[in-house]
Amino acid sequence: MNPLAAAQTIVGGLKSAGINLVATLPDINLETLLHEVESDRDIVHVPLCREEEGIGICAGAYLVGKKCAAIMQNGGFFNSNNAIVSTLLQYQIPLLLLIYYAGDIGDRTFSTTGSLTEPVLQALGIRAYIMRDPDDAQELIRRAQILTEDSKRPVALLLTKEALGRRAQLKSL
Amino acid sequence: MAQDALVVSSAGAVTLEWHALRPSDGNFRVRTLGLCSSIALGMALGLPHRKIIALDGDGSLLMNLCSLPTIARMKPKNLIHIVFDNEVYEASGSKKTATGAGADLVGLARAAGIGNAHWANSLEEFEKVIRSAVSENELCFIGAKTSTDRVDVPPYPIDEVENKYRFIRHVEKTEGIEILKSNLPASYN
């Protein structure tokens, strides 16, 4: 799948899961996905200056009936941690986090960020699933949305370059 | 319109004072310093026909200054962002904030792109700008310098989770919508 097809599949998955507000901050690997989010008329798109404000925006929108997702790089997930803890977890507010997994195996940059991403998610008690195949996107997003709504905690999907259609897939990963 | 406004108040004394003035399930107390303006923006985008009022503080807004350009970019017409600026972190020992050293929050709001941003320099002026903000359908930022005097108000009576449920139920009731649906299928599968 190429980046455009992967992005369209992911946005289709978000819409099937009922998501209608998406807060985002760019990473070069998210470029096509964010373009698809931005050009979708059914989704309120909120471009952020810093990811932590996006956690607040999504929490506020949830409280008045929106279904939200936040799309960011894992560095942005680290930027968001205080809001995740003292707003999402403290108030038991669900949120679907779509996190680009920088520093994944084979990435030239951000290996430190990559190595700490899963341990921090685990420490916060945020259940996380790695999406490597864009063919899984629709089903994974649907399941993750059910989980976040039922558990009333954020749930993270870690999107690798393969999931975004930007690298050949390896069966052994 | 002001009566049924949803009100988001910042971490700090402003929440307790507001609760004493207008106890309502339509009040939402923020615990993350800085997030008041962002949570209010999310509500304003989610319910574009309902007035949303953010009661922010200088220490809070200074921590999340980037919410100003984001609010300016989204331009929600139903959002009134009020900042009570007492120039100290009052709830945390009254150390001076950057506004006490000259930072101008209304100037920052304007520079971020919120043209309708004003200082209210007296109680009369405050009342005037609030009245016009409530009646108009336009994004508005209001700064008000306040004293650090404390008033004797009761503690906040509910915890965060109860605040969440009461707030959502209040929105459901007043908007006639369903937000919290039962997640259980008729037969478990």
Question: A12 in contact with B at a CB cutoff of 8 Å?
Answer: no
The model's confidence at residue A172, banded by pLDDT at 50, 70 and 90, is: confident
The interface residues of chain A toward chain B in range 96-135, judged by CB-CB distance below 8 A, are none
Range of the domain at A130: 3-159
pLDDT score of B185 = 64
Q: Are A108 and A120 in contact (CB under 8 A)?
A: no
- A148, pLDDT greater than 90: yes
One-letter amino acid at A59 equals A
Q: Are A97 and A157 in contact (CB under 8 A)?
A: yes
Quick check: is A91 in a domain?
Answer: yes
Quick check: is A167 in a domain?
Answer: no
- A68, pLDDT greater than 60: yes
pLDDT score of B181 = 81
pLDDT score of B189 = 53
In angstroms, the first-to-last Cα distance of chain A is 17
Contacts of B153 (CB under 8 A, 6+ apart): B13, B16, B17, B19, B20
More confident residue, B12 or A130: A130
Domain B6-175, CATH: 3.40.50.970
The model's confidence at residue B3, banded by pLDDT at 50, 70 and 90, is: confident
Mean pLDDT value across residues A71-99: 98
User: Can you tell me the distance from the alpha carbon of B126 to that of B110, in angstroms, rounded to the nearest whole number?
Assistant: 18
CB contact under 8 A, B69 and A49: yes
pLDDT score of A16 = 97
CB contact under 8 A, B31 and A87: yes
Three-state secondary-structure class, residue A119: helix
Contacts of B114 (CB under 8 A, 6+ apart): B68, B71, B72, B81, B139, B141
Quick check: is A113 in a domain?
Answer: yes
Pairing type for strands B52-57 and B79-85 reads parallel
- pLDDT 10s digits, A107-143: 888 999 999 999 999 999 999 999 999 999 999 999 9
Angle (deg, nearest 10), helices B105-112 and B67-74: 50
- The Cβ-side half-sphere exposure at A19, using a 13 Å CA radius, reads 32
- pLDDT 10s digits, B134-178: 999 999 999 999 999 888 999 999 999 999 999 999 999 999 999
pLDDT score of B186 = 65
CB contact under 8 A, B64 and A53: yes
SS3 of chain B: helix, strand, coil, percent, to 5: 40, 20, 40
Q: Quote ipTM for the complex.
A: 0.97
Question: A93 in contact with B at a CB cutoff of 8 Å?
Answer: yes
Tokens found for residue B147: 């004293």
The CATH number of whichever domain residue A92 belongs to comes to: 3.40.50.970
Residue A53 with chain B: CB contacts under 8 Å: 35, 38, 64, 66-67, 70
Domain count, chain A: 1
pLDDT score of A108 = 85
Angle (deg, nearest 10), helices A3-16 and A31-38: 50
Residue B18 has a CB neighbour count (10 Å cut-off) of 21
The residue among A44, A63, A79 with the most chain B CBs within 10 A of its CB, best to mutate, is A63
Q: Look up the pTM and report it.
A: 0.97
In angstroms, the first-to-last Cα distance of chain B is 45
Mean pLDDT value across residues A46-56: 98
Please name the member of B6, B66, B161 whose beta carbon is closest to the beta carbon of A92.
B161
- DSSP letter assigned to residue A28: G
Quick check: is A66 in a domain?
Answer: yes
